[in-house]
Chains A and B, each alone.
Chain A
């Protein structure tokens, strides 16, 4: 038996019985054989590592798939960034509109007057009954505290629509609703007059509130006063609304712009 021919079998544990005994005996007595066995052992170790490398390669989750994923994440990030920029730009544009202008969407809305067949305001309570004069129907002249617009139905429609949405005002100060203020009750009384279409009765009340120069009620009073003036006289109402529009900090500026648009 040439022991060198059995090195591989020995290292692969495929030797047994007498053959194994003979080989181990030779191994003890032959330093060159021992060296050869060690070299073979190292070589088998390297071959095993090589096999391992191939196995890893076979099972690798490729970084290229990672790269693809990264690209997807990047694309999503870019899309989100683009959407954010667009949103920011739109917000900036909207906030910095010059006074008296509206965004296209609002402009479209304003450009389309309400269908007169669908919006039929009720007759004004303070409006005088139709008088017969020389066989022609002519609208009665408004009383001093009544509503007008016999010659401007658009203004009347706008006024009726605006006052229809008015609600009783509660001022909340320090988390509590104040109910004892004279100015608040005056404002609410004016609102009542407006809702019952008695703008002329509302005007002196609102002017008295404004005379107090109380900033808490100023915007509300000015807005209600402009409505009251509109209810009585279109020109005066427009002037009051334009005054509100000129004030960029006014709380009712957008509503005033919208209402002016309807009056055009």
Chain B
């Protein structure tokens, strides 16, 4: 059924995938973080991810998170050079990530229920799960910054706007690029310090 589903979804997204005639082109486009490449990959795995999620009795929201996380992990591996293209279909690789992720998720849930093992131990062989958990921590740390800092960091690093454009469009209270940079540098420093405090208090490795 998942294959049928993938076929239909793949067919519906043929326009997106059409520009990537082979897997290597898709991987290259994912490395460039092209939206079309993400949509193509997403459509290729959507049915299988749904099937995997349902087989582990995940809710729809969790399945959507799983879908997103697996693609993100895959792209992060490409970016950091941990993924080596060997001629295999990227979708297959991502589906494998999803399976491992679900297995990890359910194992973690059962451990939480019994509370008999330190969850940090089972991260050792699955380093990509650190990525996800660190992102969750990072979001919490960002939330601890004041609104202005959150905005400055978001505009620069999440929306990737150029400082010059930010000033021209008056997206912030700052009227010069230097003022913008200085304030943002302070915000980043604060964020790094919060991360360091978090690391000291929990022993958890966060930058």
Interface residues of A (CB under 8 A from B): 4-9, 36, 39-67, 69-70, 73
Contacts and interface: CB of A to CB of B under 8 A. Distances in A.
Interface centre among A41, A42, A53, A57 (most CB of B within 10 A): A53
Nearest to B13: A61
Nearest to B48: A66
A60 B60 CA distance: 14
Contacts of B75: 52, 56
Nearest to A46: B138
B35 A59 contact: yes
A6 B181 CA distance: 9
Given A44-B157, A61-B9, A63-B63, A52 B192 contact: no
A56 B71 contact: yes
B35 A47 contact: no
Given A43-B192, A73-B4, A53 B39 contact: no
B131 A70 contact: no
A44 B184 CA distance: 13
Contacts of B182: 5
Interface residues of B, number: 50
Question: Interface residues of B: mostly helix, strand, loop or mixed?
Answer: helix
Contacts of A49: 72, 76, 131, 135
Given A46-B138, A73-B8, A55 B33 contact: yes
Contacts of B157: 44, 47-48, 50-51
Contacts, number: 128
| 4 tightest Cβ-Cβ pairs between the two chains A and B | A42-B207, A59-B38, A47-B157, A61-B42
Contacts of A45: 207
Nearest to B188: A8
Contacts of B206: 46
Given A4-B189, A8-B188, A63-B63, A70 B50 contact: yes
26 contacts: A7-B188, A39-B195, A42-B207, A43-B188, A50-B135, A50-B157, A51-B160, A52-B75, A52-B79, A53-B69, A59-B38, A59-B39, A59-B42, A60-B38, A61-B9, A61-B39, A62-B67, A63-B46, A63-B50, A63-B53, A64-B64, A66-B47, A66-B49, A67-B50, A67-B60, A69-B47
A56 B97 CA distance: 16
A57 B66 CA distance: 11
Contacts of B181: 8-9
A44 B46 CA distance: 30
A51 B131 contact: no
B207 A69 contact: no
A62 B46 contact: yes
B64 A63 contact: yes
Contacts of B192: 36, 39-40, 43
